[in-house]
Structure 1
């Protein structure tokens, strides 16, 4: 089945993302820099781009930069005066991402905040509270519950929240899992279910990135 998933992704990619619009140069730079190959796929990047556009996002927060691939998709959805803040714990990853963002001509729109997000989010909150209208979570899954709490504090009414990698190849349904990443997602979902300020759903996905999925939320 995985071959078929890849073949279908290739059809969609060739049909919907013309050559040069998939930002493949960023993925190539990340491979050359020996970063983990865990970027969103081109089709997933375009989905984030379209969701941000549909929302009319002017202020975007991303938690988890890696090499900046999703950052670039999101930043390209911003209007001229828009701004994106992306949080990355690893200085080397941030350095690669900064180079990629500059190559994309987006250095004026995307700012990388280096450090553990749990440590950098409070300072960001002091400067940017209640302003983000699109928030993308794609970092360490065990911290998703804390990231959700901060996302609620930082979000403007009507904000969209997307949380990636929540299926864990189906392990999210395993209540006996000892994997901290799975447990983090499970706790994240529990918090969502108890949070009256958010409407949310989840979508399972298959494709070139395997079997996974994401949560889509709306701040009332």
Structure 2
């Protein structure tokens, strides 16, 4: 099958299962206008994150990698009125765009975007007693997956759902000799989550408008 077919099927999924949402469309338009990279989750993937948060009964969500807050908003909308998302973003420009998008979506009271290197911010969250989180979505720079997962486990509880995005890398995850640090980070996520006795996990390959990739879904026991 071709990328064209994958994209057409994605369009079909969205047309039938993801209602039109002007607020989310505006987020993507604002991201484009601000020059952010077009690496947001797809609408179908955003809806999946939303549903996983609802299934988990999440009240507190941690996101590592905000970009323009498209995925952040999808997840926040799954929370009860007193729910909270803490999202960590390295790039100050991205964080500024994200905060504006969040305010326009009417979710400023539910979402906090913290700027800085996540591996520096995560210890502060732990020290503040911000956890445990009910759902943790890791979608940042892939070489740092080991550090992100280490902190995710520290900020989790039994039943916490951990989702790690972009772990298939167009199939390159099966090869250990690519020299690609992103592939190395994806392989590390498999190794860490697969060898931890506290974790039950699986991975799903995905195709669609974003090409060929996938994610790991894990539950802490």
Q: TM-score range by the shorter chain?
A: over 0.9
- State how many pairs are aligned: 220
Q: Distance in 2 between matches of 1:30 and 1:186?
A: 30
Q: CA deviation at 1:168?
A: 0.6
Q: Distance in 2 between matches of 1:75 and 1:84?
A: 6
Aligned partners of 2:89 and 2:117 also within 8 Å: yes
Aligned partners of 2:143 and 2:185 also within 8 Å: yes
Q: After TM superposition, which residue ranges in structure 1, 4 or more long, deviate above 3 angstroms?
A: none
Q: Distance in 1 between matches of 2:94 and 2:111?
A: 15
| Equivalence for 1:66 | 67
TM-score using structure 1 length: 0.98
RMSD: 1.1
Q: CA deviation at 1:128?
A: 3.0
| Equivalence for 1:20 | 21
Aligned partners of 1:145 and 1:185 also within 8 Å: no
In structure 2, stretches of 5+ residues that fail to align are none
| Equivalence for 1:213 | 214
Query: Which SS does the other structure have where 1:62 is aligned?
Result: strand
Change (3 A) 1:129 1:85: closer
TM-score using structure 2 length: 0.97
**Equivalence map 1:109-128=2 (5 Å):** 109-128=110-129
Aligned partners of 1:129 and 1:155 also within 8 Å: no
Aligned partners of 2:62 and 2:87 also within 8 Å: yes
CA deviations on 1:31-52 (whole Å, 9 max, x unpaired) are 0111000000000000000000
Q: Distance in 1 between matches of 2:129 and 2:140?
A: 20
Q: CA deviation at 1:133?
A: 0.6
In structure 1, stretches of 5+ residues that fail to align are none
Q: Distance in 2 between matches of 1:147 and 1:87?
A: 11
